[in-house]
Amino acid sequence: MTTITLDYALAELPSSQHRAGLAGLVLMLQWLKRQPGKRKGVAEVTGLHAAGATIELDEKGIAELLDCAYAAAKGEVESGTLRKDKAKETVEPLRTEERQTTDKAGKVQTKTVYIYPAVVPRGAFLLEWDPTRQGDRGLWIKLWRDTVWTVLRGVPAQRAPYEARADKTPTEDAAKAWKALAKPDASDELASTYFIGAQATSAENVAFRDRNRFLFLLHFWPFVAQIYVPQVVDNDGKSTFEGCALAIPDVANLAVFCEELEEVMLGRPVEVAAYLPRGAVIDIVEEVGLDLLRQLRTHLSKKLAKVRFGDLLLGIDVAHLKKEGNNVRLLASARVEAGAVLDEYERVRGAFWNPRFRQVRLRALVRGKPWFSGFDRLLTTTGYDQTFGNSHFRRDAREAFRIEADMNDATDNPENPEKLENAETSDTRGPAPIEALIYRMVGGYLTRKLRTKYQLEWAKVKDSPALKAEYEKQKERLAKDAFLAIRSRTGPDFIEYFTGTLCSVPQHVGEEGFLALTRALMTDTDKVRTLTLLALSARA
């Protein structure tokens, strides 16, 4: 039978999805070659190098390739409610089952679930690359399958290739692909089924079209894209998951990328968060790209330097998608480059416990803003119990000052807070940063007020559990009162409160420290206010 030879160069492909698709095609063909049994046709990689690949195909080979890409089986899914069809008629389930659950109060409740038939995409080589795999299941492959079915193929008409193979009925997609590839440079419609964000026509009434040989690659990019789930925290502090975020690698070195991706994916975390792999849960969409870059760099750093990390990828394209009814919306998109921000991400990743704190800190990082940027809005618009009143938030504030302002030396030892009274905030290296000045001034204020108002000193209470508890209680009360007072004041009102309250006790900051603080109060009042709120949270 006649074969077609397709030469692909990364540089000629129009998007990261196409370049990821070429990587997915190469990986699929390499996996097929390792499968037992006789091949049905010709579908193989005849050339692979850094800048591209050569693929040889015939019609039977294309059919086998697409059968693997869209392999699916009949399965079952649980639903908490009875389904309705388009006519609003009840769809009868296969069966019903009873489930027992225990609520927060410890009360056991019985819940009825309805079992419906479902089509489950297999995922080809992705199942073998799941570090949590048990038989045909695993946390990571389930996430991929759910994303394909509910988002990438969220519209029922888009699921036909999987449903046909699950039903073992003939398909026409291979014949259509063979016919299209016979004219590889002819163009055809580019549908959103294969390309995120594609439309029938643009706002300027220009049709979305692509070359046939480029379109063919779009069957395979989902096998290379990494899937994450953004975590959203509501006003009550409850976390929910919103859609999915895809990290689409913009491949710059095809040969090395295809060689290394398997080990990277096998090295993903195996811990569970709710029903998801913990490593897939993120706080902000941009973190998707940073985490994938981190994994690749960590993996490559353990191997001999065959290629520089910066030459492996041009960057990561990120798409945040969510299904609403029968429509799939693109909520956000971003581009993350492999740069210095990755070093910062490595440093702060995992340092913070509170989801809100993490989100604000990471958002400042990816936007190139100071570490405290964004906390002004969070601290003044979010409920008190979700910020100062949350022990994890206060712990994260302390950790942020330790990491960002280097407030972890002997002068700030929590076992001996009295030392900060005698600590000058300037030395031979020059004046201390404004963050350090404010942090120490807040500590000095709380320590002095505890001594003068409640006759409590750390040296006298540290060996008595009862007195130590009273010390901590009154310290938190003082910090809370100041926090709430500052939160309701801005501009001149805040300056008046700061100078009349925090500066009402002796502060050992030196002349340079007072000059720096005065300049900051006059020229960057909001910054001082934000840092003061954070410092009160940290030192409470």
pLDDT at 479: 92
Q: Once rounded to an integer, what is the mean pLDDT over residues 214-226?
A: 96
pLDDT above 90: residue 69: yes
Q: Once rounded to an integer, what is the mean pLDDT over residues 85-94?
A: 84
Model confidence at 106, pLDDT cuts 50, 70, 90, reads low
What value does the CA radius of gyration of the chain take, rounded to a whole number of Å? 29
Residue % of the chain over a pLDDT of 90:
47
Instruction: Centre a 10 Å sphere on the Cβ of residue 131 and count the other Cβ atoms it contains.
Output: 15
pLDDT at 79: 78
Strand 43-49 and strand 209-211: the pairing is unpaired
* 207 secondary structure, DSSP code: B
Strand residue runs (E) in 171-225: 187-189, 209-211
Higher pLDDT, 318 or 238: 318
How far, in Å, CA of 342 to CA of 362, rounded?
11
Report which of 259, 23, 265, 315 is spatially closest to residue 143, judged by C-alpha positions.
Answer: 265
Higher pLDDT, 340 or 284: 284
Cα-flanking dihedrals φ and ψ of residue 229, to 5°?
A: -125, 115
pLDDT at 424: 37
Q: Once rounded to an integer, what is the mean pLDDT over residues 121-143?
A: 93
Buried b (16+ CB within 10 A) or exposed e, 365-384: bbeeeebbbbbbebbeebee
How far, in Å, CA of 146 to CA of 100, rounded?
25
Model confidence at 304, pLDDT cuts 50, 70, 90, reads low
Instruction: Identify any residues that bridge with 111 across adjacent strands, giving them in sequence order.
Output: 99
How far, in Å, CA of 472 to CA of 49, rounded?
64
Residue 491 corresponds to which tokens in the numbers above? 């501009």
pLDDT at 308: 66
pLDDT above 90: residue 459: no
pLDDT above 90: residue 140: yes
Average pLDDT, the chain: 86
pLDDT in tens, 464-512: 888 888 999 999 999 999 999 999 999 999 999 999 988 888 888 788 8
How far, in Å, CA of 468 to CA of 461, rounded?
5
Give the least confident one: 77-86, 210-219, 266-275.
77-86
Residue 2 corresponds to which tokens in the numbers above? 């006649």
How far, in Å, CA of 59 to CA of 170, rounded?
15
Strand, helix or coil for residue 43? strand
Report which of 465, 458, 394 is spatially closest to residue 420, judged by C-alpha positions.
Answer: 458
Model confidence at 20, pLDDT cuts 50, 70, 90, reads very high
Helix H or strand E segment including 409: none
Higher pLDDT, 324 or 419: 324
Give the least confident one: 65-74, 133-142, 329-338, 375-384.
329-338
Strand, helix or coil for residue 357? helix
How far, in Å, CA of 353 to CA of 391, rounded?
10
pLDDT at 203: 64
Find out whether 13 and 217 touch, Cβ atoms under 8 Å.
yes
- CB-based contacts of 475-479 (< 8 A; 24+ apart in sequence): 475/446, 475/450, 475/539, 475/540, 476/540, 478/446, 478/449, 478/450, 478/453, 479/388, 479/442, 479/446, 479/536, 479/537, 479/539, 479/540
Residue 327 corresponds to which tokens in the numbers above? 């429509």
Find out whether 53 and 47 touch, Cβ atoms under 8 Å.
yes
pLDDT at 425: 37
Model confidence at 49, pLDDT cuts 50, 70, 90, reads very high
How far, in Å, CA of 344 to CA of 101, rounded?
42
Q: Once rounded to an integer, what is the mean pLDDT over residues 317-336?
A: 86
pLDDT at 309: 66
How far, in Å, CA of 464 to CA of 379, rounded?
34
Residue 518 corresponds to which tokens in the numbers above? 């005065």
**Residue 453 identity (one-letter amino acid):** K
**CB-based contacts of 220, cutoff 8 Å, min separation 6:** 21, 22, 23, 24, 25, 27, 28, 69
Burial class (CB in 10 A: 0-12, 13-18, 19+), 539: buried
State the greatest distance between any 2 C-alpha atoms of the chain, in Å, as a whole number.
Answer: 95
Model confidence at 526, pLDDT cuts 50, 70, 90, reads very high
pLDDT above 60: residue 419: no
Q: Which of 44-53, 309-318, 516-525 has the highest mean pLDDT?
A: 44-53
Residue 238 corresponds to which tokens in the numbers above? 């409850």
pLDDT above 60: residue 43: yes
Model confidence at 311, pLDDT cuts 50, 70, 90, reads confident
Strand 226-233 and strand 281-282: the pairing is parallel
pLDDT at 414: 40
How far, in Å, CA of 58 to CA of 5, rounded?
9
Higher pLDDT, 415 or 26: 26
pLDDT at 87: 81
Strand 430-431 and strand 327-336: the pairing is unpaired
Model confidence at 305, pLDDT cuts 50, 70, 90, reads low
Model confidence at 248, pLDDT cuts 50, 70, 90, reads very high
Model confidence at 273, pLDDT cuts 50, 70, 90, reads confident
Burial class (CB in 10 A: 0-12, 13-18, 19+), 35: exposed
